[in-house]
Amino acid sequence: MTEAKKSEVLQGTLDLMILKTLQALGPQHGFGIARRIEQVSRDVLQLNEGTVYTSLLRLLQQGWIAAEWGTSDNNRKAKFYSITRRGEKQLAVETENWQRISGVVGRVLRLEGER
């Protein structure tokens, strides 16, 4: 494994990251979301930006986000996504889930040989 290798985005975590991004930054278009995730992940994550749109569609179908056509900063037509009330609730649940799971995994990985 080379040091510069980026990690793949874990299955299912992209939805969570997008929900959080929309909650933190307000309405965003797909490009904005991709930039934000790239920025926060400090180039650690390998993200096929197209998958952001698949994830957005999934979230739309669940009713956790809403979409609306608008105009972007540079006067382009763009679809803006925003988190819904149901989405906020879901985010809270998922965040707690994630912290619990990652906590457990972290503890397991830290186990020293206690045989």
Q: Which residues bind other proteins (CB under 8 A)?
A: 29-31, 34, 48-51, 53-54, 57-58, 60-63, 76-79, 93
Q: How far is the CB of 108 from other proteins (least distance, A)?
A: 26
Residue closer to other proteins (CB basis): 31 or 106: 31
- Using an 8 Å Cβ cutoff, are 81 and 28 in contact? yes
Answer for the pair 86, 21: CB distance below 8 angstroms, yes or no.
no
Nearer to other proteins, 23 or 79 (CB): 79
Stated length of the chain: 115
Closer of 70 and 107 to other proteins (Cβ): 70
Min CB(92)–other proteins separation in Å = 12
Q: In 3-state terms, the chain is what percent helix, strand and coil (to 5)?
A: 55, 15, 25
Q: What DSSP string runs through 49-77?
A: THHHHHHHHHHHHHTSEEEEEEE-TTS-E
Least Cβ distance, residue 99 to other proteins (angstroms): 19
For the CB of residue 1, give the shortest distance to other proteins in the complex, in Å. Answer: 22
Residue 12 or 63: which CB sits closer to other proteins? 63
* Biggest CA pair distance of the chain: 64
